[in-house]
Amino acid sequence: MTEELNPLAIVAGQMKEACDELGLDPAVYEILRKPQQFYEVSIPVTMDDGSVQNFSAYRAQHNNALGPYKGGLRFHPEVYADEVKALSTWMTVKCAVVNIPYGGAKGGVKVDPRELSEAELERVSRGFIQKTYNMIGPEIDIPAPDVYTNAQIMAWMADEYGKISGKPGVGVVTGKPLNFGGGRGRNKATAQGTVHCVEEAGKKLGIDMQGATAVIQGYGNAGSFSALLMEDLGAKVIAVSDSRGGILNRDGLDAQAVIDFKAENGSVQGFAGAEDITNEELLALECDVLIPAALENVITSENAADVKAKIVGEAANGPTTPAADETMYENGVFVIPDCLANAGGVTVSYFEWVQNNYGYYWEDDVVAQRLHKKMVDAFEGIYGYHEEFGVKMRDATYLAAIKRIAEAMEVRGWLSK
Ligand code: GLU
């Protein structure tokens, strides 16, 4: 992998720049440049045919200066250690951005869940908890859904944790089903946060979302809800894609019909009334809003100059490399960085955990209103840094977050004497 694409090198560079810009004690970067703990475990699973497969799994606990470690757990065949460490660092930044009392963590199981039966998936999920039971907990480290994990997987995990501990322990993971301690609004929360940010950016740039055109790369949880929510604002979703490729209809797609089509056919490609395009073609489309909502390193130095969107809202983690970010900045593309744009997910996870701790559950409108306030406050704060320091929104995001984390480390007595 080239240095441009190594997420750990990318995040270390981003941190270093922000620490230098803020003139912080060198101890801040020294502590933040690597996770506090990193675990690698293996999960032997008896498959339906009686054979045993041993899956590698990772959990990185980056920093807990602001509160318990928090972050998703992905099931993906390509998951690797440096990626998980980088993603855990972004979680620390993200939680500080929206000012919730959490540090950052991330996990991954190296498995392709699309190749497993439901029973095998359950055994992998319970196996992860059996192997990490001592490292996680409602006051220690709280996993949540991420790429290819969902509410059902969280339910198996919370149940397994409960069985081992002999306590309900529902607050051990978030993103659970509603009838098992889940919080309202969690499913669409990541996308909702992104769309709130896109709307705020539109106000700053004088772009009305009513009638705007939107392109979505990735059509899983974050991508498909982003499409629906952009439609709710009156935007026209002209193209979407998944790992197999994309589809385009300049008159607008019906986002829900595409969700239904993908559920039946496994991909968005082949959707009637749209032409098939490649992911590369999709990223280069003329549009108002582009939402990358899949994996890292999608917009790179190879294709950043082709991006014609006015606003890029990063629902994915790490979709843009630093070189690509610079190119888009020079070309006047307004990029809302991941740690701000996708922080709605962890924010509503936080709400869920608070509700679990209280045993008192909020209505939809309460969640919606509190999420909206969190996102608008975070956006405004970062936009303020962006204007004041004359820096990219991404740099402003790091400045705001690291300042907050450094203050917590200072008060705890972690820094140089
Ligand atoms: N996986 C999501 C993220 O990357 C959510 C994490 C959480 O809810 O803890 O932000």
Concatenated DSSP letters of 313-336: E--SSS-B-HHHHHHHHHTT-EEE
Provide the pLDDT for residue 169.
Answer: 84
pLDDT surpasses 80 at 389: yes
Atom 9 of ligand 1, nearest CA residue = 71
How many CB atoms are closer than 10 A to CB 298? Answer: 21
16: annotated active-site residue: no
Provide the pLDDT for residue 137.
Answer: 97
Mean pLDDT of 102-128: 98
Provide the pLDDT for residue 59.
Answer: 98
Report d(CA 61, CA 58) in Å as an integer: 10
Mean pLDDT of 286-291: 98
Query: In which residue are the tokens 């740690």 written?
Result: 339
How would you classify the pairing of strands 236-242 and 245-248?
A: antiparallel
Provide the pLDDT for residue 63.
Answer: 98
Atom 8 of ligand 1, nearest CA residue = 346
Provide the pLDDT for residue 125.
Answer: 98
Mean pLDDT of 214-224: 97
Q: What 3-state class would DSSP assign to 42?
A: strand
Mean pLDDT of 223-238: 98
Q: Residue 293: what are its φ and ψ, rounded to 5°? A: -135, 35
Q: Which helix (H) or strand (E) holds 405?
A: helix 393-412
What is the CA(249)–ligand 1 centre distance, in A? 31
Residue whose C-alpha is closest to residue 117's, from 213, 53, 190, 209: 53
Query: Do 165 and 344 contact (CB within 8 A), yes or no?
Result: no
Provide the pLDDT for residue 3.
Answer: 77
Mean pLDDT of 324-344: 98
What is the CA(251)–ligand 1 centre distance, in A? 33
Provide the pLDDT for residue 224.
Answer: 98
Provide the pLDDT for residue 139.
Answer: 96
Residue that wins the pLDDT comparison between 389 and 192:
192
Q: Length of the chain, please?
A: 417
Closest-lying ligand 1 atom to the alpha carbon of residue 145: 1
pLDDT surpasses 90 at 85: yes
Active-site pick, 70, 106, 310, 392:
106
Per-residue confidence band for 393, with pLDDT thresholds at 50, 70 and 90: very high
Record the pTM. Answer: 0.97
What is the CA(74)–ligand 1 centre distance, in A? 10
Q: What 3-state class would DSSP assign to 184?
A: coil
Closest-lying ligand 1 atom to the alpha carbon of residue 102: 9
How confident is the model over 12-37, as pLDDT tens digits?
999 999 999 999 999 999 999 999 99
Report d(CA 163, CA 38) in Å as an integer: 25
Domains in the chain: ranges and CATH: 33-173 (3.40.50.10860), 189-336 (3.40.50.720)
How confident is the model over 347-369, as pLDDT tens digits?
999 999 999 999 999 999 999 99
Report d(CA 274, CA 267) in Å as an integer: 13
Average confidence score pLDDT of the chain:
97
Atom 7 of ligand 1, nearest CA residue = 346
Q: Residue 63: what are its φ and ψ, rounded to 5°? A: -160, 140
Beta strands in 189-298 (DSSP E): 213-217, 236-242, 245-248, 275-277, 289-292
How confident is the model over 290-314, as pLDDT tens digits?
999 999 999 999 999 999 999 999 9
Ligand 1 site, CB within 6 A: 70-72, 94, 144, 146, 174-175, 317, 342, 345-346, 349
Report d(CA 223, CA 176) in Å as an integer: 20
Percent of the chain with pLDDT over 90: 97
Mean pLDDT of 110-139: 97
Mean pLDDT of 81-110: 98
Report d(CA 116, CA 54) in Å as an integer: 13
Q: Residue 24: what are its φ and ψ, rounded to 5°? A: -80, 160
pLDDT surpasses 80 at 208: yes
Q: Residue 305: what are its φ and ψ, rounded to 5°? A: -70, -20
What is the CA(72)–ligand 1 centre distance, in A? 4
Closest-lying ligand 1 atom to the alpha carbon of residue 73: 1
pLDDT surpasses 90 at 381: yes
Mean pLDDT of 372-395: 96
